[in-house]
Chain A
Amino acid sequence: MTDDPIRVIEDKCVGCGLCVKACPFDAVVMEETEAGKLARIDLVKCTLCGACVEACKFDAIELKKGAETTADLSAYRDVWVFAEQSDGEISSVTYELLGAGRRLADDLGQSLCAVLLGSNVGEKARELISRGAQKVYLADRPELAYYQDEPYAAVLRDLVEQRKPNIVLCGATTIGRSLIARVAVAVNAGLTADCTGLAIDKESGNLLQTRPAFGGNIMATIITPNSRPQMATVRHKVMQEADSEPGRTGEIIEHEVKPEHLKSRARRVKFVREKESTVNIAEADIIVSGGRGIVKPENFHVLQEFCEVIGAGLGASRAAVDADWIAYSHQVGQTGKTVCPKLYVACGISGQIQHLVGMSSSEVIVAINKDPDAPIFKIATYGIVGDALQVVPMLTETLRKELGK
């Protein structure tokens, strides 16, 4: 039927089956027909992702493109970074976004701007300029002291509608993701979450947004060709931080906040800081995690000491959290946190896929496990087959000496 969004061109299909293998959704099958083997796409399972189109060497699959927009997108200019602050401190992911944003702005020949909402944060606006923001849109009101979904979304939406940015980047934090998802819907924009790659397509000028899907088993590159702004969230530690150059100059533009935008139906009753003095693992460059192989909760102190010596955050597998050995905030994995540190040390963790999903993009992975067949060893850069409770204290001492601690 010519109405179908995707179809196999029967004349061109040779029945090689590459499309069947390429489909992440099991939506293509090979069928025997009088004309030989032909691919058939199950329109119910198909998500129109295009993997089969890419895989086919014979151009035998046609994917209908969505309607092109008639709107003038060239009115949208500049790369914006939402500067997340907590208690007046700017989160490090903001500097990483400014780093990535600088690159994109240069490729586009447009400006890099920051958006800062808060109360008495004028000083911080200057910090953003020293990190490369050429303009800082500042909304400084007592009602914006801390993040609340509705006022922040209303103010950011207002700014976007007034100033028309080309690209808006935001940290993939609890706040960032909650905020930007609301704004994207409100302004009819496309939003791509947890991007690991951002680049400008030379031909179209579109932002190429690359991210993992299926728990990191595949990567997808996404564009929002017909809508502006192009919005994306990026996790901690994925992009390089922008350098701070105190001599840099820039413009601070105070946004006139409309009173109705400051209303919030939700109300914060209180804020409780994490009691344990743990490094926020999402921001950690090194993470040491413990699993079932730690045997009992008391043994976590072995990992804790290791963390202190090498400056690491403490993580855990679901097994340790479910056994109540350690708080959920330390859990790394599919139903916990996703982390991307320079070094991830998995101690007594077998490496079930649900855990790997949360840490497999770490730069260097070290696995310490008694079981030589533990799946974790398949993705480890280095490993020791041994009892973590024996190995880790020795590792701690060895490194303590090396680091002169």
Chain B
Amino acid sequence: MHCIVCIKQVPDTTDVKINPETNTLMREGVESIVNPFDMYAIEEALRFKQKLGGKVTALSMGPPQAEAVLREAIGMGVDEGILISDRAFAGSDTWATSYTLAMAIRKIGDYGVIFCGKQASDGDTAQVGPGIATHLDLPQLTYVRKVEDVYENRVVGERLLENGYEVVEVPVPCVLTVVKEINEPRLPSLKGKMAARKAEIATWTAEDIGAEVSKIGLEGSPTKVVRIFTPPARVGGEIFRGEPSETVPKLAEKIKDIVINTAS
């Protein structure tokens, strides 16, 4: 089976801090990483390859430096990495992004399962996976926390719901978006790291994937950001120190009203 994994390079949120003086985002020396949820997507694709044979291709839409996450994926065992990059993609929202990735997948042509992480840690929308599925008219299973069975023509997976989970059988080709519970991502192997260093990452432009100008970038994005602001910083609170016999009553006093009001 040919599995495709869509991955994204995101800023490492641990390193993103707010400058207390200006109350703005400080991004000096912030590292870029593979979107955390995408690691689980890469791992699951590799497991599918182990079970069924075939190939795994990683795709990423981003600026030239996003090549780094494709190399990381190759280090884990992915066979090929393709970067979809073009200045024309600047300003893409989830509609335009899912369209662009869908066009790239169309160009690849033959595939079984398309994997995405549930959401990206910078945008946090969880919309691109289902968006790709819709552009390609494919069935989807989102929030997949476990794959029970995989065959060439179908996948049986568990979707995590708020009140439990459902077991769903989805035909291939399809889109799966995965959550953390599904697996433990492997570390890159030595052989993988060497392959990653040597790999030739193809770059596809808007023209290469046959994208319509009106559907990409700023023009292809129905949503527009009109304002960015930092939320008011939380004011430091009251911290009680001392023996529990002293501190506990003080805390209880503070929270009892909330508890009483919500209990009703």
Q: Are A219 and B262 in contact (CB under 8 A)?
A: no
Q: From B122, which residue of chain A is reached at the shortest CB distance? A: A214
Q: Are A386 and B263 in contact (CB under 8 A)?
A: no
Cβ proximity bits A370-405 to B, threshold 8 Å, 1 near / 0 not = 001000011111111110001100110011001100
Complex CA–CA separation, A353 to B238 (angstroms)? 21
Query: Using a CB-CB cutoff of 8 Å, which residues 283-323 of chain A contact chain B?
Result: 283, 285-286, 310-311
Q: Are B167 and A268 in contact (CB under 8 A)?
A: yes
Q: Are A395 and B248 in contact (CB under 8 A)?
A: yes
Given contacts A266-B169, A391-B248, contact A222 B135 (CB under 8 A): no
Q: From A394, which residue of chain B is reached at the shortest CB distance? A: B248
Complex CA–CA separation, A174 to B36 (angstroms)? 19
Q: Are A48 and B90 in contact (CB under 8 A)?
A: yes
Query: Using a CB-CB cutoff of 8 Å, which residues 161-212 of chain A contact chain B?
Result: 173-175, 177-178, 181-182, 184-186, 188-194, 208, 212
- Residues in chain A near residue B166, CB distance under 8 A: 146, 268-272
Complex CA–CA separation, A379 to B169 (angstroms)? 44
- Residues in chain A near residue B174, CB distance under 8 A: 265-266
User: Is B104 on the interface with A (CB-CB < 8 A)?
Assistant: no
Q: Are A286 and B259 in contact (CB under 8 A)?
A: yes
Complex CA–CA separation, A175 to B63 (angstroms)? 32
- Residues in chain B near residue A44, CB distance under 8 A: 63-65, 87
- Residues in chain B near residue A222, CB distance under 8 A: 223-226
Complex CA–CA separation, A357 to B231 (angstroms)? 13
Min CB distance A329 to B, Å, is 7
Q: Are B139 and A265 in contact (CB under 8 A)?
A: yes
User: Is B48 on the interface with A (CB-CB < 8 A)?
Assistant: no
Task: Tally A-B pairs: CB < 8 A.
Answer: 323
User: Is A223 on the interface with B (CB-CB < 8 A)?
Assistant: yes
User: Is B234 on the interface with A (CB-CB < 8 A)?
Assistant: yes
Given contacts A280-B162, A382-B240, A391-B247, contact A220 B227 (CB under 8 A): yes
Given contacts A24-B27, A335-B36, A379-B234, contact A190 B248 (CB under 8 A): no
User: Is B190 on the interface with A (CB-CB < 8 A)?
Assistant: no
User: Which of B156, B167, B239: most chain A CB closer than 10 A?
Assistant: B239
- Chain B contact residues, majority secondary structure: mixed
Query: Using a CB-CB cutoff of 8 Å, which residues 124-154 of chain A contact chain B?
Result: 146, 149-150, 153
User: Is A26 on the interface with B (CB-CB < 8 A)?
Assistant: yes
Query: Using a CB-CB cutoff of 8 Å, which residues 337-393 of chain A contact chain B?
Result: 342-343, 345, 352-354, 357, 360, 364-367, 372, 377-386, 390-391
Min CB distance B158 to A, Å, is 8
- Interface-facing stretch out of B15-23, B52-60, B69-77, B195-203: B15-23
Cβ proximity bits B199-241 to A, threshold 8 Å, 1 near / 0 not = 0000000000000000001110111111111110010111111
User: Is A5 on the interface with B (CB-CB < 8 A)?
Assistant: yes
User: Is B141 on the interface with A (CB-CB < 8 A)?
Assistant: yes
User: Is A22 on the interface with B (CB-CB < 8 A)?
Assistant: yes
User: Is A107 on the interface with B (CB-CB < 8 A)?
Assistant: no
Q: Are B228 and A191 in contact (CB under 8 A)?
A: no
Q: Are A218 and B25 in contact (CB under 8 A)?
A: yes
- Residues in chain B near residue A357, CB distance under 8 A: 13
- Residues in chain A near residue B24, CB distance under 8 A: 21-22, 55
User: Is B189 on the interface with A (CB-CB < 8 A)?
Assistant: no
Complex CA–CA separation, A384 to B252 (angstroms)? 11
User: Is A75 on the interface with B (CB-CB < 8 A)?
Assistant: no
Q: From A44, which residue of chain B is reached at the shortest CB distance? A: B63
Cβ proximity bits B140-171 to A, threshold 8 Å, 1 near / 0 not = 11110100000000001001111111111111
Count contacts on A: residues with CB < 8 A to the other chain: 115
Cβ proximity bits B89-102 to A, threshold 8 Å, 1 near / 0 not = 01101110011000
Given contacts A5-B218, A215-B13, contact A193 B127 (CB under 8 A): yes
User: Is A43 on the interface with B (CB-CB < 8 A)?
Assistant: yes
User: Is B187 on the interface with A (CB-CB < 8 A)?
Assistant: no
Q: Are B223 and A224 in contact (CB under 8 A)?
A: yes
Query: Using a CB-CB cutoff of 8 Å, which residues 13-43 of chain B contact chain A?
Result: 13-14, 16-19, 22, 24-25, 27-28, 30, 36-37
Cβ proximity bits B238-250 to A, threshold 8 Å, 1 near / 0 not = 1111001101110
Q: Are B124 and A215 in contact (CB under 8 A)?
A: yes
Q: Are A181 and B131 in contact (CB under 8 A)?
A: yes
Count contacts on B: residues with CB < 8 A to the other chain: 99
- Residues in chain A near residue B194, CB distance under 8 A: none
CB-contact partner of B219 in A67, A328, A380, A398, under 8 A:
A67
Min CB distance B126 to A, Å, is 5
User: Is B110 on the interface with A (CB-CB < 8 A)?
Assistant: no
CB-contact partner of B168 in A26, A192, A268, under 8 A:
A268
Given contacts A190-B222, A193-B127, A266-B139, contact A382 B254 (CB under 8 A): yes
User: Is A51 on the interface with B (CB-CB < 8 A)?
Assistant: yes
Min CB distance A348 to B, Å, is 14
Q: Are A382 and B251 in contact (CB under 8 A)?
A: yes
30 A-B pairs in the complex with CB atoms less than 8 angstroms apart: A5-B217, A25-B11, A26-B27, A44-B65, A66-B219, A174-B143, A174-B159, A181-B131, A182-B134, A184-B95, A190-B95, A190-B224, A212-B124, A213-B122, A218-B228, A221-B229, A222-B224, A227-B222, A270-B167, A271-B164, A311-B262, A311-B263, A335-B179, A335-B180, A378-B236, A381-B234, A384-B239, A386-B247, A395-B252, A403-B259
Known: A66-B221, A283-B162. 6 other contacts (CB 8 A): A23-B25, A184-B127, A190-B224, A193-B124, A335-B37, A365-B234
Interface residues of B (CB under 8 A from A): 11, 13-14, 16-19, 22, 24-25, 27-28, 30, 36-37, 63-65, 87, 90-91, 93-95, 98-99, 121-127, 129-131, 133-135, 139-143, 145, 156, 159-171, 174, 179-181, 217-219, 221-231, 234, 236-241, 244-245, 247-249, 251-252, 254-256, 258-260, 262-263
